[in-house]
Structure 1
């Protein structure tokens, strides 16, 4: 019995150690502004089948990549998930040739920018607005008329101290997007908070990524807006 317990403890510690190591490696790449640090991740996306025509194309950072129930949440419209790493807007721009390639998507949904606004290094507002405009230029290069939905930066507990800066970015991007054809900002911030603070139950242990409950909120807000605009609800 003791031997079995000891083996179990070793396995648990090994697993936790691997998870911590993977997280530390990912954080190092998140801190980098070199888009080539994600080249292997993007190459892995490129190696997959292009996906069906008429799908919903989701692009962005790890919150998109970790959306494991995305296909179920968006059924019956098929989805293409092109989330990668802890990407920033500049990374999406750099790898746009791979990320935005799709056959006549019904809509493009993007979530990126939260990793540009961190307590360690928050990019200035004008830089973020310029980057968003450049990213949209890349989207339109591939999909000139396709509806595009940008999920606004979310209020995570881990980065709460820079939420005011994130809100400023969200506001500026919303204003910019309002002047762009077929471009909509979906703000899920209030739905993820309670009493003016991020609801911890909407996030996993790292206090940054969404929990199952958090993704359910995203699914409700994103699906209702996209499907309504497409005349499906």
Structure 2
């Protein structure tokens, strides 16, 4: 009976090892594979990356442009080029993304463009999903370090978390995250663009007139405010 159990255990171990080897590319050590769940908030962004690649193949983006990257506030900025006439811009926002996602995909939607400047907007989705302000500070540092590894001279600017009526419960952690990132940006010599303050009303609440019906995404008035606030920070 003991011999039979030993044989069964060996057979099970063999089958598990076989399945594991089939689950990864040949010749790749398991620890060398990227741990996607620990790095990005959703594997679904791969579809966006493939779409960006197709767009680049069909119409190569301008060299040494300014890349805007981040979540839906960037993705939905469909007047970005018109709002900054005479400036070569590339919109690489992918909706719902978190700050760490932009770091993870920098190899594909930032580094290849050799931009002269990168503007990042990400963070409020992170807080909404439960990440802490200190984690955002760490994610921001990782983003800057990743870009400067391959693009040591690139200009970087961070657009602060925006206050939204639908996420008014996040105002306190947003303030904390913005303060931590601003402090980190100063240390790393990164520009910090405050859109949080001008998007509040006299009572310190998010301005309803800046948002569409979902009270999360901005309308034309909101983007006009961003345009005026961001313009002075753009690389010439």
Q: TM-score, normalised by structure 2?
A: 0.77
Aligned to 2:77: 67
Unaligned runs of 5+ in 1: 1-32
Aligned to 2:115: 105
1:1-233 equivalence runs, <5 A? 34-49=41-56, 50-118=60-128, 121-181=129-189, 183-195=190-202, 196-226=204-234, 230=236
CA offsets 1:168-225 (integer angstroms, 9 cap, x no match): 00000000110113x1110111211211111111011111111100000001111122
Is the CA contact (8 Å cut-off) linking 2:41 and 2:98 kept in structure 1?
no
Unaligned runs of 5+ in 2: 1-39
Residues 106, 96 of structure 1: CA spacing in aligned structure 2 closer, same or farther, 3 A cutoff?
closer
Distance 2:41 2:199 in 1: 31
Distance 2:118 2:41 in 1: 25
The farther-off stretch of 34-43 and 195-204 is 34-43
Distance 1:142 1:75 in 2: 28
| Equivalent residues, number | 194
Distance 1:194 1:34 in 2: 32
Larger Rg: 2
Distance 2:151 2:83 in 1: 24
Question: Shift in Å at residue 53 of structure 1?
Answer: 1.3
Is the CA contact (8 Å cut-off) linking 1:41 and 1:85 kept in structure 2?
no
Is the CA contact (8 Å cut-off) linking 1:57 and 1:102 kept in structure 2?
no
Distance 2:41 2:115 in 1: 29
Distance 1:60 1:175 in 2: 20
CA offsets 1:102-146 (integer angstroms, 9 cap, x no match): 44423111101110011xx43122221111111111221332111
Is the CA contact (8 Å cut-off) linking 2:193 and 2:230 kept in structure 1?
yes
Distance 1:109 1:34 in 2: 20
Aligned to 2:29: none
Distance 1:194 1:92 in 2: 30
Q: TM-score, normalised by structure 1?
A: 0.78
